[in-house]
């Protein structure tokens, strides 16, 4: 079976984005000329120009129309084309992931969470509240509610040590698929305190319902990101359906708090 490589313009884009994201090419640096990039990647100007156009659209590169392209402010994007944990994503962009646990507790689920997890009234969940960081900078507040049989696997795990997703999958928990809902929300007092921002500041919110392969709900989660430090991306193709869809939140029955 032959391996189909990504189109050249996409590989050029990813390489240039990686250099900028890692700090190898700092903000304000002038990029090599198109001719130099063509020589480096062994290609014509077409793929190089496509790559630069993509990076300009993302704001990663600025300049054009007669001005030399320079590195703009880089905000790393997390893709939802695959089911990737925060820890895996951070490492993939060359950042050191961190976490500080504020709470790990067993309590009755709220009515909304109980409904999403298909629990009876008063059913118990394991709640986790953590602050996640990139290179030591507080980036996201993570709130998660696990059904009891899943959450109990966290009893002997140091939640400050790493990825909950990796630990649970190592215990045989089938975290197979998730539905993501993305919107914006104002930072509450706790968000502001732990992220070092003002109360009411805008945050990028990702709400997630994670299920096993049979469709059984295992976890309801809500992550609140500082938008200047992280955002989300999805890549579309005309002849391929994308897993990310637009939704009217007033009619999204799977949305959760």
**CATH number for position 52:** 1.10.10.10
Q: What is the pLDDT of residue 10?
A: 85
Q: Is the pLDDT of residue 50 over 50?
A: yes
Residues 104 and 152 in one domain: yes
Residues 40 and 16 in one domain: yes
172 within some domain: yes
**Pairwise CA distance, residues 27 & 75, whole Å:** 11
Residues 174 and 222 in one domain: yes
Provide the percentage of residues in the chain whose pLDDT is more than 90: 51
Q: What is the pLDDT of residue 8?
A: 87
**Pairwise CA distance, residues 157 & 169, whole Å:** 13
Q: What is the pLDDT of residue 67?
A: 74
Burial 12-22 (b: 16+ CB within 10 A, else e): bbeebbebbbe
Q: Is the pLDDT of residue 235 over 70?
A: no
95 within some domain: yes
What are the structure tokens assigned to 39, written together? 């020589």
**Pairwise CA distance, residues 226 & 192, whole Å:** 10
Residue pLDDT, tens place only, 170-220 = 999 999 888 888 899 999 999 999 999 999 999 999 999 999 999 999 999
24 within some domain: yes
Q: What is the pLDDT of residue 159?
A: 95
- CB of 187 within 8 A of CB of 201? yes
- Residues in Cβ contact with 75 at an 8 Å cutoff, skipping those fewer than 6 apart: 59, 227, 228, 229, 230, 231
Of the two residues 3 and 39, the one the predictor is more confident about is 39
226 within some domain: yes
Residues 111 and 15 in one domain: no
Q: How far is CA 59 from the centre of its chain?
A: 18
The confidence band for 234, taking pLDDT boundaries of 50, 70 and 90, is low
Residues 37 and 94 in one domain: no
Domain boundary among 71, 102, 125: 71
256 within some domain: no
Q: What is the pLDDT of residue 226?
A: 93
- 218-226 average pLDDT score: 95
The CATH number for 178's domain is 3.40.1410.10
- 232-245 average pLDDT score: 59
Residues 58 and 167 in one domain: no
Burial 105-120 (b: 16+ CB within 10 A, else e): eeeebeeebbebbebe
Domain boundary among 39, 54, 71: 71
252 within some domain: no
- 153-162 average pLDDT score: 94
- CB of 103 within 8 A of CB of 160? no
Residues 106 and 136 in one domain: yes
Residues 214 and 196 in one domain: yes
Residues 104 and 209 in one domain: yes
Q: What is the pLDDT of residue 180?
A: 87
- 90-110 average pLDDT score: 90
Domain boundary among 18, 45, 71: 71
Domain hosting 54: range is 8-71
Indicate the pTM of the whole model. Answer: 0.66
State how many domains the chain has: 2
């Amino acid at each position: 079976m032959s391996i189909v490589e990504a189109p050249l313009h996409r590989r050029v884009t990813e390489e240039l984005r990686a250099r900028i994201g890692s700090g190898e090419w700092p903000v304000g640096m002038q990029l090599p000329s198109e001719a130099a990039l063509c020589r480096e990647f062994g290609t014509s100007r077409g793929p190089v120009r496509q790559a630069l156009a993509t990076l300009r659209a993302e704001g990663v590169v600025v300049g054009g129309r007669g001005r030399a392209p320079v590195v703009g402010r880089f905000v790393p994007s997390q893709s939802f084309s695959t089911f990737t944990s925060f820890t895996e994503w951070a490492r993939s962009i060359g950042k050191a992931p961190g976490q500080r646990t504020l709470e790990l507790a067993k309590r009755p689920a709220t009515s909304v969470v109980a409904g999403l997890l298909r629990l009876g009234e008063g059913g118990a969940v394991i709640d986790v509240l953590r602050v996640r960081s990139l290179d030591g900078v507080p980036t996201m507040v993570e709130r998660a509610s696990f059904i009891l049989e899943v959450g109990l696997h966290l009893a002997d795990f140091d939640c400050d040590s790493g990825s909950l997703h990796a630990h649970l999958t190592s215990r045989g928990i089938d975290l197979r698929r998730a539905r993501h809902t993305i919107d914006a929300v104002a930072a509450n007092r706790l968000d502001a305190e732990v992220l070092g921002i003002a109360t009411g500041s805008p945050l990028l919110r990702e709400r997630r319902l994670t299920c096993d392969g049979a469709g059984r709900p295992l976890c309801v989660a809500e992550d609140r990101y500082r938008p200047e430090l992280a955002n989300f991306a999805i890549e579309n193709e005309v002849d391929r359906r994308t897993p990310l869809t637009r939704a009217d939140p007033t009619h999204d029955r799977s949305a959760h708090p």
